[in-house]
Amino acid sequence: MKRRQLPLLLMLIAGAITTLTVYFKGLGLKTMLIALLAAFVTFYFIGSLVEYTLDSFDKKSAPEVSDEGEVIEKEATAAIPQDKPVEAAEEEEVAQ
C-alpha cells in the first residue's frame, strides 16, 4: 500500500464507522453530518501525522548516496585490511 493513501483510507474508515454509529443511535441528520465532518478532519490529520512519521523513519534509515550514485559504506571498509584479500581477513577473524 502506498503511504500517500494512508490518511485518506484512515479518514474513510473512520467516517464509515461514525456514520453507522450515529445512524444506529437514531440521531438526526444534522448531528450525523457534524459528527462525520469532525471524524473526517480529525482522522485525516492523524493519518497525515502517521504518514509523516513513517516517511521520516525511512529518510533516517536510507543509505547515503554519493554524487556518482554509489552507496557510501561507512563501517565495512574499516574492518578489513587493504593488503589482504577478503577471504583471508574472514579466516583470520574466525581463528581469533
71-93: average pLDDT: 57
pLDDT digit string, tens, across residues 6-61: 888 999 999 999 999 999 999 999 999 999 999 999 999 999 999 999 888 888 87
The answer to whether residues 44 and 10 touch, using CB atoms and an 8 Å cutoff, is yes
Residues 6+ apart with CB under 8 A from 76: none
Q: Enter the C-alpha cell of residue 82.
A: 587493504
Compute the distance between CA of residue 50 and CA of residue 43 in angstroms, rounded to an integer.
10
Please state the pTM of the whole predicted model: 0.58
**What pLDDT is recorded for position 92?**
59
Q: Tally the domains of the chain.
A: 1
Domain that holds residue 15: 3-95
Q: What pLDDT score was predicted for residue 56?
A: 86
CB 72 within 8 A of CB 65: yes
pLDDT over 70 at 66, yes or no = no
